[in-house]
Amino acid sequence: MPNWSNCTPSAIPFPVVFGAEFVNIEARPVLDYIPPGPPSLSWVNHPPLPNTTVDFCNVTLTHTHPGKNDTLRTQIWLPISPEWNHRMQMAGGGGWSAGFDASTSLVYGALTDGYVASTVDGGIRSENGLSPAAWALTSPGNVNYDALQNFAVQGLIDGALATKSVIKSFYGQGVDYAYWNGCSQGGRQGYMFAQRFPDVFDGIAAAAPAINWNPLFFSSMFPQQVLMELKLEEFPHPCEYETLRQAAIAACDGGDGLIDGLIATPETCAFDPHKLVGSPANCSGESLVISKAAALAMDAVWKGARTSNGSFLWYPHGFETEVTMGIGLLASVCSNNGTCVPSRSTLFTDWIRYFIKKDPNYNLNNMTRQDWVSAFKAGKREYGSIIGTDDPDLGEFRAAGGKLLTYHGLADGLIPYGGTRDYYERVSVLDPSLRDFYRYFEAPGAAHCSGGSGGHPEGVWAALVKWVEHGVAPETLVVKNMANKERLLCPYPKKAVFAGNPSNYTAQDFVCK
């Protein structure tokens, strides 16, 4: 085991990674570390973060790609206490952040378990993970393709190889197992490794993956697009949307045999919001009725992105999705007099504004449906091979012995779960034996990465390690909902069917069918 004398720049040589030139290394001991304040992200795929201190060597590498005038960073935390478990865990980012600050809780959590933990910035030193405005364009009309390539792919593989090199230098031996952990952007990054660099990681936990990069933005912008096309003078109040959401849940709950406020079989839910137009909305202190505009907007949430003639473009969001909370699909700003206007998040809109239209001042509110569809197609043509991560050929990952484990919440308000389901099905067409190395679970009521009334599976990581290191594949996962009740998750396409006492049950009262 190394001592603190190993934790100096002179003791750790620059990694050798083809195409990259490392230009700086920082190394310093960190004692009794615990993240300041509440972590920005939960420890996805794991139980809640522990409240414990750790000692580690903090190594930060800086490298460039000669001729590109770029600067990328990789941060590696090497544990001293607890002792290293001979494994590495690379942490994914979120939104428009490749990692670093967006990954603090994931890196810290890995360290408490004895893993070497690492993360990358993808060449982007932006503190705003909701917008790429600081780096997307070199000038109006000109996309910074090198920056996008670094963010999407190159920074990640460089960082993974650099991490392995530093581990060997610091500890005098390589890793026994290498793992990836992430959600959302971090999920996309994990799939990118499985598809393009299949021999880097033995196990990949990738929740709610943003693999369908271009279409997910359009699907998430679609409800607001529908509203803008109406040219309204007054927009629906958020409580109209919430009333319709609750009505849908009430109408479609119980598909799994249990009435618990969750929709476990959304594909069988045929709730029509238009039937409630004119009905009272559940608004505190106000007397409002559900408007036609609110029904149209929620119909857009639940039917997915469509052309003007109703043709399918991309998958919908779930009926349980809270559309007005946080970065909501139908978030609004309401004045004291009760009038509301849509609030459009840059997390979604900047994809069109910067990368497709290449114009920071482009006004999305004036887009016709044909404008919108044309932009959808343009994004697919131009960026599918750069940041699109939906190649279903995982043959090399399977041959390398890798294992890929994913869950996606059916109430995810940012990334439609249908895109992940579609990807899994396309992989299954190419490789009917995919269950040997790839398993996908859907979680009723689970929101994006964390939150939601249905709860998230906390045992994903333990299941992945057991699969990788002991050959035991996960047949089920367990979640606890907001009422602290357990339920079972089954590997897609199986569903958990309830067969117990509704007043007192555990996960054992469900069976997979």
Which residues are catalytic, by number? 184, 412, 448
Token pair listed for 97: 């952040």
- Cβ neighbours, 10 Å, residue 484: 7
Distance of CA 261 to the CA centre of its chain: 24
Residues 479, 489 contacting (CB under 8 angstroms): yes
Tell me phi and psi for residue 396, to 5 degrees: -70, -35
Task: List Cα–Cα distances, 437 to 200, 399, 427, 490, 493, in angstroms.
Answer: 15, 10, 11, 16, 15
Q: 383: helix, coil or strand?
A: helix
Q: Which of 64, 57, 58 is nearest to 20 (CA)?
A: 64
DSSP 8-state class, residue 236: P
d(CA 150, CA 503) in angstroms, rounded, equals 52
In the numeric block, the tokens 């660099």 are attached to 197
132 contacts: CB under 8 Å, gap ≥ 6: 96, 124, 126, 350, 354, 355
> Which pair of structure tokens corresponds to residue 179?
């793992």
Q: How many residues does the chain have?
A: 513
